[in-house]
């Protein structure tokens, strides 16, 4: 018994030390508060940690306040994050941090946000980002090292993004040759003619609260369950790794505070090993191991 217990403790410690850096990430949700409307974006903290940290550095320092959408490519993207505008100060380049290493991995589908960068330089992203209006994977996944998707619009947010994309555009020269404008009838473009952001700010919520109603309960579990396996719905992607799986269930379970909305036991839980492996990022390893074992007649 003593020997067996000792072995178990050793395995647990090894497992914890392996998992610790991978289990820490919980995804961030950011609210884009524009004059046209607001929408929320879940960031892929686990899949693209450097890019998320880079974006949050700009957002948390307030550098995106008073920024505006400066480019629309019809049926392709709207782009911002490069400039601020005020009637008193005019156009100002947002002060840039050093470029961030490219972390392409998630496909540039409709509803994703990715970093803009210089042509022929995969590792040149600084402050500018864009939302894909359509499936741009065939282009953007294979160009310049792939454009790093680092978040995805939640809920009905694309309705507002589409409304911005439907605004008229004017050619104001340079980087502003496809500039979306509001209530513009000619003359000098002013603050009230642009798609400005009052703020782009991190939202506070409890991890596992997948519908943002303030409680972590069965309603959130149901969202997780309905979206299980999805790589295109980020509502229940609690760790922001690009897929809704057992690791996100574990985040919900570990933060559950609200009363069950359905009777306990009415919904099945993933197996403990599945949660552990997914939380550690070892699910792929386990699948390969099982396949190898089956091939070898071990399982
Ligand atoms: Ca909830
Ligand atoms: Ca996930």
Domain coordinates of the chain in residue numbers?
A: 29-202, 208-295
Answer with the residue of higher pLDDT: 295 or 141.
141
Q: Which ligand sits nearest to residue 259's alpha carbon?
A: 1
The span from the CA of 194 to the CA of 67, in Å, is 9
Ligand whose nearest atom lies closest to the CA of 208? 1
Residue 46 CA to ligand 2 center (angstroms) comes to 8
Report the pLDDT value the prediction gives residue 258, as an integer from 0 to 100. Answer: 75
Q: CA of 230: how far to CAs of 225, 234, 246, in Å?
A: 10, 8, 12
- How many A from CA of 255 to the centre of ligand 1? 11
Q: Which CATH superfamily is domain 208-295 in?
A: Dockerin domain (1.10.1330.10)
How confident is residue 267, by pLDDT bands cut at 50, 70 and 90?
A: low
Q: How many angstroms is it from 155 CA to the middle of ligand 1?
A: 14
Average pLDDT rounded to a whole number, residues 161-183: 97
Distance between Cα 147 and ligand 2 center (Å): 20
> Is residue 102 predicted with pLDDT exceeding 80?
yes
Say what the pTM is: 0.84
Q: Provide the angle, in degrees to the nearest 10, between the axes of the packed helices 246-255 and 272-279.
A: 100
C-alpha of residue 99 to centroid of ligand 1, in Å: 37
Distance 94 CA to ligand 1 centre (A): 36
Fold of 29-202: Cyclophilin (2.40.100)
The whole-number pLDDT of residue 10 equals 42
Model pLDDT for residues 188-198, shown as the tens digit of each residue: 999 999 999 99
Is residue 231 left, alpha or beta, with left meaning phi > 0 and alpha meaning psi from -120 to 50? alpha
């Amino acid at each position: 018994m003593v020997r067996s217990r000792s072995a178990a403790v050793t395995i647990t410690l090894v497992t914890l030390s392996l998992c610790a850096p991978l289990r820490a990430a919980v995804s961030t949700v950011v609210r884009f508060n524009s004059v046209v409307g607001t929408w929320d974006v879940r960031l892929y903290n686990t899949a693209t940690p450097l890019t998320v940290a880079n974006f949050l550095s700009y957002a948390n320092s307030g550098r995106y306040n008073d920024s505006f959408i400066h480019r629309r490519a019809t049926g392709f993207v709207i782009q911002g994050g490069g400039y601020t505008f005020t009637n008193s100060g005019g156009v100002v380049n947002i002060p840039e941090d050093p470029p961030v290493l490219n972390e392409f991995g998630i496909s540039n589908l409709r509803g994703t946000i990715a970093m803009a960068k210089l042509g022929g330089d995969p590792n040149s992203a600084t402050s500018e980002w864009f939302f894909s209006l359509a499936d741009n994977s065939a282009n953007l996944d294979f160009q310049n090292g792939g454009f790093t998707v680092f978040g995805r619009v939640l809920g009905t947010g694309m309705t507002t993004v589409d409304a911005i994309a439907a605004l008229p555009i004017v050619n104001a020269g340079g980087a502003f040759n496809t500039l979306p404008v509001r209530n513009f009838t000619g003359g000098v473009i002013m603050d009230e003619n642009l798609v400005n952001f009052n703020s782009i700010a991190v939202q506070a919520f409890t991890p596992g609260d997948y519908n943002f109603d303030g409680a972590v309960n069965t309603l959130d579990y149901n969202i997780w369950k309905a979206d299980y396996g999805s790589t295109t719905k980020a509502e229940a992607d609690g760790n922001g790794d690009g897929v809704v799986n057992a690791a996100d269930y574990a985040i919900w379970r570990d933060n559950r505070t609200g009363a069950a909305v359905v009777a306990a036991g009415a919904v099945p839980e993933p197996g403990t090993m599945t949660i552990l492996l997914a939380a550690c990022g070892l699910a792929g390893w386990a699948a390969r191991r099982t396949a190898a074992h089956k091939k070898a007649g071990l399982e």
